[in-house]
Amino acid sequence: MVFRTWIMMMVYVAAIERVPTEEQLDAQLGKAEHRQLKEYLRKTGTSESIVIQKVMEDVDHIKSRRKHDREYMSGYRCKTLRKDLHDAVLVGKIREEKIDKIDKSDKRTYTFDDFWKEYPKKVGMSMAIQTYLATVKTDKDHEDLMSALVNYKSSEEFKKGFIKNGSNWIEDWRGWVPVKKQIVKTPAPKPAVEPNPEERAKVAALIANTMKDLNAKNR
């Protein structure tokens, strides 16, 4: 019973994170239980104040750790935000530079944005642009890319939530292009060629001579 009261006191001190008064401990632990605990601690050569002091040291350590974690996370978020802003500016510049390199006389009906707005996990845009410009050269390539994306979205991998970053998926987009079934046409049978009258007469004469020789031998 005393140990239970001891634990309850330590938990209470840790919860309020300050040294409680005698009245607060009496109300929380019960007067009789509190008195028994103080007597037990006195017999073991320690005191209630020493136990509370140890708990408060742990509380102070936890507070210090929380403060350190908050400062670290605050700094981390600031660094991440600055990096995101830097990447956004860099991506904008890269995209403008890449688009400027496209021959103006090339009447393309497709753009990287057509693909990017359809891809669900928009991560690694700058690398995705470079891969797109390197692998998508014609309208047919762009059509194949969009077909590959539709095929990827209908895959079991995608439906289970295993979605690749945009920059990673586009590196192997051709592997998702639907394979078209080739229809093998069976050639029509050639019509039988009828022999001309001369050949037919020759064959008939040959058969007649052969039969005549056989009859002669049988006599």
Show the tokens assigned to 7: 């634990």
pTM: 0.37
The reported pLDDT for the residue numbered 69 is: 77
CB atoms within 10 A of CB 129: 23
The reported pLDDT for the residue numbered 34 is: 82
Show the tokens assigned to 57: 């040291």
Placement of tokens 């320690």 in the chain: 46
CA angle 192, 195, 199 (to 5 degrees): 155
| Binned average pLDDT, 10 residues per bin, the chain of 219 residues | 78 82 84 82 81 82 80 72 66 61 58 90 90 90 92 91 92 84 59 65 71 65
Distance in angstroms (rounded) separating the CA atoms of residues 116 and 146: 10
Asked if residue 112 lies in contact with residue 134, where contact means CB atoms within 8 angstroms, the answer is no
Percentage of the chain lying above the pLDDT 70 cut: 71
